[in-house]
């Protein structure tokens, strides 16, 4: 692959822009400055450095973020900031999309990718990839509420009751809920159907991959092949 094409594929701008950056001496290949945009590079293990910042070549981009409250999962947010504003320009340029959406006031594990097949697998209810949420409620979490969530609650526009895969009380007003689907406002609607109300909502886990404890709100991180395997782990093996 030509160097300028490698740069373009990683989101570093137009063909013309990438050629110009190489000619200007702003690009290093595996640590060595290279000013010929036509140089052949091997994508396997390729490390590109642009203006002193190193980027490993990635065929597809897979990223996780600790979504903060007050950000919308949209390129054109209506009332808040966009989660995309927290990602670096090359990721936006290569067209990463949210893998499912979280509400603006929901925090926690959010994925992005430019791999359409991966996005489809992750959000397809048929794949049975569980998502675990922690919700604090306005009213105490009762046994009756937990039973209702386990057995299934009726939601508007849903033909059949929807049940949580698992549901546990963490403290008087907090519960942990495991869902197989990702329907619109699903956690809030399920909890509202029991007569309670969600005050805060946080996604902890997708598949068997948890939000890293050391990643602050607003932070993002690349996902490696082992992470992707954990993410795609179907329930119930994801439980262990
Ligand atoms: N369920 C909700 O109600 N909101 C979210 O953001 C995610 C799941």
Residues 6+ apart with CB under 8 A from 229: none
Confidence of residue 51 (pLDDT cuts 50, 70, 90): confident
Q: Which 8-state DSSP code applies to residue 229?
A: H
Mean pLDDT over the full length of the chain:
95
Phi and psi at residue 111, to the nearest 5° = -110, 155
Q: What is the pLDDT of residue 128?
A: 84
Quickly list DSSP for 211-226.
PPTT--TT-EEEPPHH
135-180 residue pLDDT tens: 999 999 999 999 999 999 999 989 999 999 999 999 999 999 999 9
Mean pLDDT of 31-56: 95
Counting Cβ atoms within 10 Å, is residue 173 exposed (0-12), middle (13-18) or buried (19+)? middle
Q: What is the pLDDT of residue 127?
A: 87
Q: Is residue 218 left, alpha or beta, with left meaning phi > 0 and alpha meaning psi from -120 to 50?
A: left
For residue 105, indicate whether it is catalytic: no
Report how far residue 117's alpha carbon sits from residue 209's, in angstroms, rounded to the nearest whole number.
Answer: 19
Whether the link from the prior residue into 236 is cis, omega within 30° of 0, is yes
The residue contributing the CA closest to ligand 1 atom 3 is 185
92-109 residue pLDDT tens: 999 999 999 999 999 999
61: its two tokens? 């981009």
- Asked whether 113 and 61 are in contact (CB, 8 A), the reply is yes
Residues 6+ apart with CB under 8 A from 40: 1, 2, 3
Long-range CB contacts (within 8 A, 24+) of 156-160 = 156/189, 158/183
pLDDT at 189 over 80: yes
Distance 187 CA to ligand 1 centre (A): 5
Distance 184 CA to ligand 1 centre (A): 7
**Closest CA relative to residue 179, chosen from 206, 143, 142, 208:** 206
57-76 residue pLDDT tens: 999 999 999 999 999 999 99
The minimum-distance atom of ligand 1 relative to the CA of 188 is 3
Q: pTM, whole model, 2 decimals? A: 0.95
Distance 186 CA to ligand 1 centre (A): 5
Report how far residue 63's alpha carbon sits from residue 61's, in angstroms, rounded to the nearest whole number.
Answer: 6
3-state secondary structure 22-54: HHCCCEEECCEECCCCCCECCCCCCEEEECCEE
pLDDT at 240 over 70: no
Q: Which residue has the tokens 């959000």?
A: 123
pLDDT at 44 over 90: yes
Q: Is 6 strand, coil or helix?
A: helix
Q: Give residue ranges with CB within 6 A of ligand 1.
A: 102-103, 106, 185-188, 201
Task: For a ligand 1 pocket test, name from 186, 202, 204 the mutation site with the most ligand atoms within 8 angstroms of its C-beta.
Answer: 186
Q: Counting every residue, how long is the chain?
A: 240
Report how far residue 3's alpha carbon sits from residue 6's, in angstroms, rounded to the nearest whole number.
Answer: 5
All domains of the chain, ordered by start, with CATH? 3-56 (3.10.290.10), 62-125+208-238 (3.30.70.580), 130-206 (3.30.70.1560)
């Amino acid at each position: 692959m030509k160097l300028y094409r490698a740069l373009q594929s990683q989101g570093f701008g137009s063909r013309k822009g990438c050629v110009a950056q190489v000619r200007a001496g702003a690009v290093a290949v595996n640590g060595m400055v290279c000013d010929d945009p036509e140089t052949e590079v091997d994508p396997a293990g390729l490390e590109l450095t642009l203006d002193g910042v190193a980027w490993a070549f990635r065929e597809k981009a897979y990223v996780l973020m600790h979504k903060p409250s007050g950000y919308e999962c949209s390129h054109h947010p209506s009332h808040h900031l966009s989660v995309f504003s927290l990602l670096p320009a090359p990721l936006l340029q290569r067209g990463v999309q949210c893998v499912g959406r979280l509400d603006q006031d929901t925090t926690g594990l959010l994925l992005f990718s430019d791999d359409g097949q991966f996005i489809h697998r992750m959000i397809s209810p048929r794949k049975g990839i569980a998502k675990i949420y922690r919700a604090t409620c306005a009213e105490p979490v009762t046994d009756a509420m937990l039973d209702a969530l386990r057995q299934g609650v009726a939601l508007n526009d849903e033909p059949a009751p929807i049940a949580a895969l698992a549901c546990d009380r963490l403290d008087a007003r907090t519960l942990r809920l495991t869902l197989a689907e990702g329907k619109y406002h699903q956690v809030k609607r399920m909890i509202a159907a029991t007569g309670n109300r969600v005050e805060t909502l946080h996604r902890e886990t997708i598949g068997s991959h948890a939000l890293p404890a050391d990643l602050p709100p607003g932070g993002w991180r690349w996902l490696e092949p082992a992470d992707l395997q954990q993410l795609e782990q179907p329930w119930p093996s994801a439980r262990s």
